[in-house]
Amino acid sequence: MLDISWISENPQLTIIMALIILLIISNLVIFWRLRSTRGLLHTYEKLFKDYDGTTVDVILQHVSEQQKKSQADVEALRQQVVDLEKRLPQFINRLAIQRFKGFPDVGGDMSFSLALLSDMGDGVLLTGLYGREETRVYAKPIQGFSSSYQLSREEEEVLLTAQKM
């Protein structure tokens, strides 16, 4: 068995051993604190690398100003989005096309009708008639999904297709 009677016989040695154990523990604590301090220092250097020689309050003031400017920019962008959403129904976003045979003696579906309309039904209806000698393109204004001009059967079909979108 282990004889530890020497501890009680020599109290100075006991004190020295206790101090050595305390020294080892304190060195471990210091080492652990040093590592965490280095991590904080690295984070600090990364955050404030662009601010050489300035104090923290100046840096925080600058960051606050930048944040306010960014907030104003975001608000301006938000307002632009609202304005665009208001105008969106006026944009051309209903497209329909139909190809057809314009004349009985001309082969293939070379003629076409193309509707370019907004959500409100305003826009233009383009019709191209392909013939042997020439191709003619006609444009008819559309308001509220109807035209003041006479529409052919194909034009009415393409207009109805665009309206259903």
Instruction: Look at residue 46 in the predicted model and tell me its pLDDT.
Output: 80
Q: Minimum mean pLDDT among 46-55, 59-68, 106-115: which range?
A: 46-55
Are 17 and 45 part of one and the same domain? Answer: yes
The reported pTM is: 0.55
Are 59 and 113 part of one and the same domain? Answer: no
The candidate with the shortest Cα–Cα distance to 113, out of 141, 144, 90, 139, is 139
Range of the domain at 138: 91-164
Are 97 and 75 part of one and the same domain? Answer: no
Residue 98: which H helix or E strand, with range?
strand 92-100
Are 78 and 122 part of one and the same domain? Answer: no
Inside any domain, residue 106: yes
Instruction: Look at residue 47 in the predicted model and tell me its pLDDT.
Output: 76
Inside any domain, residue 5: no
